Structure 1
Amino acid sequence: MGPLACSALLATLLPFVTRGFADTGSSRGPRQLMSVSQPGVCRYGSKLECCYGWRKNKGHCEATCEHGCKYGDCVGPNKCKCFPGFTGKICSQDTNECGLKPRPCEHRCMNTHGSYKCYCLNGYMLMPDGTCANSRTCAMVNCQYGCEEVKEEVRCLCPSTGLQLGPNGRTCIDIDECSTGKAICSYNRRCVNTFGSYYCKCQIGYELKYVRGHYDCVDINECAASTHKCNVHAGCLNTQGSFKCKCKQGYRGSGFECSGK
């Protein structure tokens, strides 16, 4: 068969060959073909593969971030795009919006985890757009964080859901979400109360690490890290969240203290 005949035969079969690659796949649906126009796709000779720093997932190439993006999305190899209110290389740091210029609030600002709250000076009323309006009524009530007027009734405000009005109805006191049970922390994290809010921290004996695509509190191996307090004549046994000490043969004691028999 000559070159012209081969070219004609190939032109005839090519649509069927191409359609076969596109339609052949698992029972879940047609196989998805990568294109150089897709992000993270590189051409290696005649093959299309994920570029360095990208991995294949369901027919597409997705970026990989070695240490993850705590409060953001991985948009490129080791490149995070942080959610609003967070910053840092892995988006683990809270942005203090109150320290930004121009200031986000007209009067006073309270920074919160991933956000902020505006409140007004005494004698001013917080408006829906976040500005503060002079109010004789508010000045008479003497609110700590400003007030609002609802149906001709004046009510003092607190700038955070973690605060509540005190007995005098004018000042705000902290709500301890940890002791009241309002805090939501996973089983291996403990609650730490702050003024107006709270945050979750790994239990003692655990540390926050990026494991298998997400952050989790994992056990600290005190024995391997040599951070245990076992006696020099004792062996160290790592346990979940802690460790145990046992005196070596020929010694007795608690493991923290060992003496010869």
Structure 2
Amino acid sequence: VDECATGTRNCDQHASCTNTPGSFTCACNPGYHGDGTSCTDIDECSTSSHNCAQHATCTNTPGSFTCTCDGGYLGSGTVCTDVDECDTGANNCDQHASCTNTLGSFTCVCNPGYHGDGTSCTDIDECSTSSHNCAQHATCTNTPGSFTCTCDNGYLGSGTVCTDVDECATGTHNCDQHASCTNTPGSFTCACNPGYHGDGTSCTGL
């Protein structure tokens, strides 16, 4: 009698029946353990008898298991590859921040001239915070992420170095021909010569 075919067997529903001469045997299916008449699901996740990748989550299922790659990784679950969020654009870094890929994630750091947590970066006003290198006789102008230095009137230079212009020596003054020019820091003065009177830019003979 083929007990497996006739159903006169007592194998567990999760077991396979094999007919033998005058009898039969029961063997638990893969993913189950027991004597064949009683089969219990094997939790491959808790027993570490799975092949999920290091960066994957194992979920037990009846008679088997599934592997799902963790956040920041892509793949089948048995193989998981790090996602470069910086390269794919799947990051929330501010437009004024640099993105650095890390295993399973990424970091955002504000660019020089900006401050914040990397996901939100605000321009630093170097002029108001005195974190600039403009010369004493220069004007600092804030720009996005930086600043510029411009020498004040009466001075020449790069802005970080400003030298007084001697208007008297260069002839870039407006003193009257009958006046003497005296250079001053950033400017000059005009004084009418003896025998003349006026404000220095206009002198009339006495």
Query: Is the TM value for this pair above 0.5?
Result: no
Whose relative contact order is higher, 1 or 2, with alpha carbons under 8 Å and at least 6 apart?
2
Smaller-chain TM-score range? Answer: 0.3 to 0.5
Higher strand share: 2
Taking structure 2 as the reference length, the TM-score comes to 0.42
Higher helix share: 1
Q: Which has the larger radius of gyration?
A: 2
